[in-house]
Amino acid sequence: MQTQIRLQGTVRKRHYGRGRSLLRKILLPSILLVLAYGFWLSPNVKTIAAGVAIFLFGMLSLEEGFRAFTGGGLERMLRRTTSSTTKSVMFGIVSTTLMQSSSLVSVIAISFLSAGLITLAAGIGIIFGANLGTTTGAWLIAGFGLKVDIAAYAMPLLAFGVILIFQSSKPLKGLGYILAGLGFLFLGIHYMKGGFETFKDTINLAEYAVSGYPGLLLYSAIGIFATVVMQSSHATLVLTITALAAGQITYENALALAIGANVGTTITAILGAMSANEGGKRLAAAHLVFNVVTGIIAIIFIYQLVDLVEGISGFAGIANDDYTLKLAVFHSVFNLIGIIVMLPLLNFMVVKLEKLIPEKQPEVDQPKYLSGSSAEFPGTAVEAVRMETLRVYEAALRIIVDALGMKQTDVLSDVDLEKTVAAQNQIHLFDIDAMYERHIKGIYSAIVAFIGDTTFSRREEQSAELQWLREASTSLVEAVKDTGLLQENLVHFVGSGSPEMREVYDRIRVQLGVIIRDLEEMRTSGGGVMDVLSLDALKLLVDEDQQRINQTMTELIGTRAITPAMGSSLINDSVYAHDIAMNLIEAAQTLFVAEQHDLTQAAHDVVLDKSDLTEIGTQAGQGNSNS
Asked if residue 207 has pLDDT above 70, the reply is no
pLDDT mean over 319-331: 85
49: alpha, beta or left? (left if phi > 0; alpha if psi -120 to 50): alpha
Q: Which helix (H) or strand (E) holds 95?
A: helix 85-99
The reported pTM is 0.65
CA distance 247 to 343: 37
CB 65 within 8 A of CB 171: no
CA–CA distances in Å: residue 510 to residues 313, 413, 545: 76, 13, 11
Report pLDDT for 582: 92
DSSP, collapsed to helix, strand or coil, labels residue 306 as helix
Most distant CA pair in the chain, distance? 110
> Would you kindly state where each structural domain of the chain is located, as residue ranges?
44-356, 378-621
Burial degree of 26 (CB within 10 A; 0-12, 13-18, 19+): exposed
CA distance 302 to 213: 9
Report pLDDT for 394: 92
Report pLDDT for 584: 92
Name the percent of the chain lying above pLDDT 90: 8
CA distance 56 to 330: 24
Render the burial of 135-150: b for 16+ CB within 10 Å, e for the rest: bbbbbebbeebbeeeb
Report pLDDT for 362: 65
331 phi and psi angles, rounded to 5 deg: -60, -45
pLDDT mean over 92-104: 76
Report pLDDT for 474: 92
- Beta-carbon contacts of residue 40 (< 8 Å; ≥ 6 apart): none
Report pLDDT for 562: 80
pLDDT mean over 361-369: 76
Q: Which residue has the higher pLDDT, 189 or 213?
A: 213
CA distance 131 to 128: 5
pLDDT mean over 26-35: 65
Report pLDDT for 611: 53
Residue pLDDT, tens place only, 572-597: 888 999 999 999 999 988 888 854 44
Name the average pLDDT for the chain. 77
CA distance 458 to 293: 44
Residue pLDDT, tens place only, 132-181: 888 877 777 666 655 556 667 788 888 898 898 888 787 788 888 888 88
Asked if residue 4 has pLDDT above 50, the reply is no
Domain 378-621 listed as CATH 1.10.1740: no
Highest mean pLDDT pick, 29-38, 197-206, 320-329, 514-523 = 514-523
Report pLDDT for 599: 44
Among candidate residues 57, 71, 69, 113, the one with its CA nearest the CA of residue 95? 69
